[in-house]
Amino acid sequence: MAENKGYAHPEVLVDADWVEAHLNDPNVRLIEVDVDTSAYEQGHIPGAVGFNWQKELQDQVIRAPISKEQLEDLLSRSGVSNDTTVILYGDNNNWFAAWAFWLLKYYGHKDVRLLDGGRAKWVAEQRPLTTEVPSYPRTEYHAEEPHREVRAFRDDVLSKLGDSQVALVDVRSPGEYKGELLAPPNLPQEGAQRGGHIPGAKNIPWASAVREDGTFKSADELRAIYESQGITGDKEIIAYCRIGERSSHTWFALRYLLGYPNVRNYDGSWTEWGSLVGVPIEK
């Protein structure tokens, strides 16, 4: 198990040593989810299944995560049972791995964890990689009905504006928060009609939560970062970014590492809010 840094739920993180020791464990399924959907093909942890977030984790018609039935089919095809320990990892310090973690919790999977440091740390330590794509016997996975308490919709956010007991966390870059950019600097500047941030939101970029090697900071370090901006465990917290993946990373840190009881991810995020007609925006 990963080093205990004072987390409320240390069991949701594993380190590379733990993963390497469980590469042949039939009760463990490694799943790689990358921003760069070609990364898996270039080499992945032996035995890991690759999920394409664009094609397999979001609905292809409406803007939404995949349905309960679609998730059941995907996990069944990947040899995942309801009692499987799922280990997620990916590039960009686990952006979309954290989003997949959020998605699995949304549908009630019990034992899901992140590889601390993600793909980059595994590669940096010269641990084994392969291009062989594994195949597992199909299971009959049964997802739960959506756990609404981990997800926020636009109307939830609108209804909470100005509420002192609700804390909004904008985890994007300062340039996006100020309305100077519509997306991270290295990406096409598209996705929303207007720039800025939701009124009252505090800007705490997602990367504040990790160290240089991509592993999460200690609970004391995380608590100091968020509490300094009024993000405390006694409040209802809603995190957002541009499309919901970076905010999943922050949601994970707040909900599982710090143990804040009421944290939701607004996966519509700025792509939705910045294109709505008439909603308030600050710059």
Is position 241 annotated as part of the catalytic site?
A: yes
Distance CA 223, CA 228 (A): 8
**Cα–Cα separations (whole angstroms), residue 203 to 40, 152, 172, 177:** 32, 18, 7, 7
Tokens of 205: 């970029």
Tokens of 270: 């700025």
Distance CA 62, CA 6 (A): 40
How many C-beta neighbours within 10 Å does residue 80 have? Answer: 23
Distance CA 248, CA 268 (A): 12
List 100, 219, 231, 241, catalytic entry:
241
Phi, psi of 141 (to 5 degrees): -75, 140
Type of residue found at 53? W
Strand 263-265 versus strand 236-240 pairing type = parallel
How many C-beta neighbours within 10 Å does residue 283 have? Answer: 10
Catalytic residues, which ones?
A: 241
